[in-house]
Structure 1
Amino acid sequence: MEDFIFRAILAAVGISIITGSLGCFVIWKRMSYFSESISHSALLGVSLGLASGLGLHFGLIIVGVVFALLIVVLQQRQFLSNDAILGIFSHISLSLGVVILALVGGVNTDYFSLLFGDILSITNQDLIWIYAILALVGTLLTTFWQRLLLLTLSEDLGVASGLNKVMYQLLFMLMIALTVSVSVQIVGVLLITSLLIIPPAIARVFSNTPVQMTLLSIVISIIAVIIGLSGSTHYDIATGPTIVIALGALFILSQILPSKASA
């Protein structure tokens, strides 16, 4: 097996584990628009990383964390609806990213790979980043699973139990920001949300418990990215969109097959 294919598979599996697990909370919390907004901010992170010399990953993490903090602060003021706040920041950050890239990007800047991903360009350093974030997010999810789940399923009960809603909301948003920071090269800025939403949506059809849904979501995500990677290398087409098409096909299949409700 070629080295770049092996690295691509390792990266795909790592990202699938992160997005498959966090995506369940995105579905349960109905935060699909937040994940879409923070993925758009990733382009600003890329451009600032290139402009400052910090590198792609540091730029993505810094912008993602700042974005999450600003959203939480503005949500507490309650002078605008959540979707309005997210829409404002999403479009501003995306536009700023495009402008800064136009100013600092050279002729060798691959805009297509930034928007739609290029998993075959994954390096050993990228793998270290991915599995470092996987370890961090996995540790946080394992440690705070019960509290995050309680606040997700019954926010009032969680607050009555003494949980700090804002702190855990911020923690979850930061985990999403970290996930986006290592997912750009897999499916690109415009398609990251699909990895967070579609696998859990499929898993929900066949699951009876939150843990079961999370594990099944991870498996589905891994299957989809492997199918997408195989298809893109065989037919020489963009990997990110191919992965999303594979996810779409699996979603349609899940609607046809007997679900837990009809079993």
Structure 2
Amino acid sequence: MEDFIFRALLAAIGISIIAGSLGCFVIWKRMSYFSESISHSALLGVSLGLASGLGIHFGLVLVGAVFALLIVVLQERKFLSNDAILGIFSHIALSLGIVVLGLVGGANTDYFGFLFGDILSITNTDIVWVYSVLIVIASLLGFFWQRLLLLTLNEELAKAEGIQHMTYQLLFMLMIALAVSVSVQIVGVLLITSLLIIPPAIARVLANTPGQMVFQSIVVSIMAVVAGLSGSMYYDLATGPAIVIALGILFVLSQLVVTKRLS
């Protein structure tokens, strides 16, 4: 197996586990628009990482964390509705990212790869980064699982028990920012949200418990990413769209399963 194929598969499996698990909370908390806003800010993170010379991962985490913090603070003030806040930040971040990348990017900058993913750009350092983030997110989810789940399913009860809503909301948003930071090179800035919401949407049809949904979401995500990568390499397609098409096929099949159960 070629080295770049092995690296792509290894990175894709790690990202699938991250996105599959966090995506369930995105679906439960109805935060798909938030994940899209953070993913749009990723382009700004990429451009700042390139401009500073510290690397795109540093820029992605920094910008994602700052935007997550600002969004949480503005949501708590309740001055504007959540969708208005997210819409404002989403478009500002995307526009700033395009402008800054245009200023700092050179002739060799792979704009298409940043937008739609590029498996050829994955290095051994990226693999280490993906699995480091995986360990961090898996540890946080394992340790705070009960509190995050209670806040998701019954926020009023969680507040009555003394759980700090804002603290855990910020923690979850920072985890989303980390997930976005490792997903850019596989699915690209414009398609990261699909990896967070489609697998859990499919798993929701089949699962009976939250734990089952997380596990099945991860399995679905891995299946789609491997299928998408295979199609991308075989037919010379953009990686991100190929993965999303694979997810779309699995989603349609899951809906057929639901229809058959109801009939």
Q: Mark yes or no: TM-score above 0.5.
A: yes
1:27 aligns with 2:27: yes
Letter in 2 for 1:137: I
What is the SS of the residue equivalent to 1:71? helix
Is the alpha carbon distance of 1:260 and 1:53 closer, same or farther for their aligned partners in structure 2, counting shifts above 3 Å?
farther
SS class of match (1:190): helix
Match for residue 111 of structure 2?
111
Give the corresponding residue for 2:16.
16
5+ residue gaps in structure 1?
Answer: none
> Deviations for 1:29-53, whole angstroms, at most 9, x for unmatched residues?
0000000000000000000011111
1:206·1:260 contact (CA, 8 Å) conserved in 2? no
Within 2, Cα distance between the matches of 1:158 and 1:81?
A: 22
CA contact (8 A) 1:14 1:130 kept: yes
Instruction: Return the offset for 1:239.
Output: 1.0
Q: Which amino acid aligns with 1:195?
A: L
| Offset from partner CA, 1:204-223 (integer Å, 9 cap, x none) | 00000000000000000000
Q: How does 1:75-86 map to 2 (within 5 A)?
A: 75-86=75-86
Corresponding residue number in structure 2 for 1:4: 4
Per the TM alignment, residue 5 of structure 1 is displaced from its structure 2 partner at its CA by: 0.5
Assess, with a 3 A threshold, how the Cα gap between structure 1 residues 148 and 64 changes in structure 2: closer, same or farther. same
Counterpart in 1 of 2:96? 96
Q: Could you tell me whether the CA contact under 8 Å between 1:44 and 1:94 is conserved in 2?
A: yes
Per the alignment, residue 185 of structure 2 pairs with 185
Any idea what SS the aligned residue of 1:107 has?
coil
Tell me which amino acid in the other structure corresponds to 1:92. I
**1:219-230 to 2 correspondence within 5 Å?**
219-230=219-230
State the Cα distance separating 1:123 from its structure 2 match.
0.3
Identical counterparts, % of pairs:
76
Quick one: which amino acid aligns to residue 48 of structure 1? L
Give a deviation string over 1:144-171, Cα, whole Å, max 9, x none: 0000000000000111111000000000
- The runs of at least 4 aligned residues of structure 1 exceeding 4 Å deviation read 258-263
- Residue deviations 1:67-93, cap 9 Å, x none? 000001111111100110111111111
Once residues 217 and 259 of structure 1 are traced to their aligned partners in structure 2, the CA distance between those partners, rounded to angstroms, is 20
Distance across 2 between alignment mates of 1:156 and 1:115: 39
Asked if the contact 1:205/1:260 (under 8 Å) is kept, the reply is no
**Aligned residue runs from structure 1 range 201-240, under 5 A:** 201-240=201-240
Q: Is the 8 A contact 1:205 1:259 kept in 2?
A: no
Residue aligning to 1:124: 124
Q: Find the aligned partners of 1:116 and 1:4 in 2 and give their Cα distance.
A: 18
TM-score for the superposition, normalised by structure 2: 0.98
SS in 1 for 2:190: coil
Q: Secondary structure at the match of 2:189?
A: coil
Residue 120 of structure 1, CA deviation? 2.9
- 1:48, 1:59 within 8 Å by CA — same for their partners in 2? yes
Shift of 1:54: 1.1
Classify the secondary structure of the residue corresponding to 1:80. Answer: coil
Structure 2: runs of 5+ lacking an equivalent? none
**Residues 1:81 and 1:109: Cα distance change in structure 2 (over 3 Å):** same
Using structure 1 for the length normalisation, give the TM-score: 0.98
- Aligned AA for 1:105? G
Could you say if the C-alpha distance between residues 170 and 259 of structure 1 is closer, same or farther in structure 2, counting changes exceeding 3 Å?
farther
Cα distance per residue 1:70-129 (max 9 Å; x no partner): 001111111100110111111111101111111110001111000001123210000000
Name 1:248's counterpart in structure 2: 248
Alpha-carbon separation, structure 2, partners of 1:156 and 1:22: 22
CA RMSD of aligned residues (A): 1.2
Deviations, residues 190-209 of structure 1 (Å, cap 9, x unaligned): 00000000000000000000
State the number of aligned residues. Answer: 263
